[in-house]
Amino acid sequence: MIPSPDPIATLDDEVDDLDIPDLDVLEGRAAGEIVRIDLGPDLAGQRLDKALATAAPDLSRARLQALIAAGQVSLVVEGGEPRPMADGKAKAPAGVYQVRVPPPVAAEPEPEDIPLRVLYEDAHLIVIDKPPGMAAHPAPGCDTGTLVNALLFHCGASLSGIGGVARPGIVHRLDKETSGVMVAAKTDAAHQGLSALFARHDIDRMYLALVRGAPHPPAATITTQLGRSPGDRKKMAVLKSGGREAITHYRVEKTFGGDKPLAARVACRLETGRTHQIRVHLASKGSPCLGDPVYGAGAPAAPVKAALTEIGFSRQALHAAVLGFVHPITGETLRFETPLPPDMAALEAALEAL
């Protein structure tokens, strides 16, 4: 473990991975239907979500808010491409709107024979090393190939319904493209116990990130308010007001590229677990995770960019390396540590050669 500048006893997880509100089974709409809504002058100037709900009463306002946040609502501009509408609170211009209604997520995920790297398993819980590219549970546009689908096959009927039908066994999440250690419950008692541990921040977690440049100072605590970005509802952002408090302790473990670092390896501990917390906080220090397609604004130095291209690295370079907790049923102290996955290890090796 790394010492934090302001030591804390417990940590929460980097929750992940849904960027947008969940979309439930659609109300009376065919799967994947594109709905056109003609918004007349009588509704123009009202809040967009309210105006669209009035013009299309079989789509609820809450549904439209979620669809707007998901980037599924566009204003059809004559002679041009449809213009996505990002803010449901904005005043609605008159015109024709295109609403893309995604297919519903199945109420009950199906078991799938997907290999899992199991670090620990007993009758109560299972700890796995999640690979990058695997979502924690089904969501719109990602209803197969998830950790839940794999767990349902691996654990059988014992997992069914634990923690809810759509997300059985899941007590915390990692971003889809973040690799590393996760724990899932196999019984109601274990689910309740693990959920209580996370609620009390009584979980030991450490992440490793490969970042652009190096944050300054080399060890510090980042404390901000985090919430949805006003300009892009599918992103999180540091806010001046509102949002929720987010605290990350970080330490630079290694730098690459000489006295003026081109990249660095950073260890992060979380005092809170907000969506995309580490990614947003590191980006706020000018050192986003390498390969981050959402928060990695600006190109890295040419040698780093060449290294990324050479090995085909295209995800955020973030790995949940350590997970420690007290077993909620047996009381045993458990701690798991996993090395960098092959793609991040290859990237680190390439950075060391700079």
Which residue numbers are catalytic? Answer: 175
Cis peptide before 230 (omega within 30 of 0): no
33 Cα distance to chain centroid:
27
**Checking DSSP bridges between strand 263-270 and strand 204-212, what pairing results, if any?**
antiparallel
**Closest to 163 measured CA to CA, from 129, 131, 119, 198:** 198
**Rounded CA separation 236/175 (Å):** 13
Structure-derived torsion over alpha carbons of residues 37, 38, 43, 46, reported in degrees to the nearest 10: 50
Round to whole Å and give the CA distance between 202 and 290: 30
Q: What b/e readout covers 36-73, taking b as 16+ CB neighbours within 10 angstroms?
A: ebebeeebeeebbbbbbbebbeebebebbbbbbbbbbb
Residue in 188, 207, 204, 206 with CA at minimum distance from that of residue 328: 188
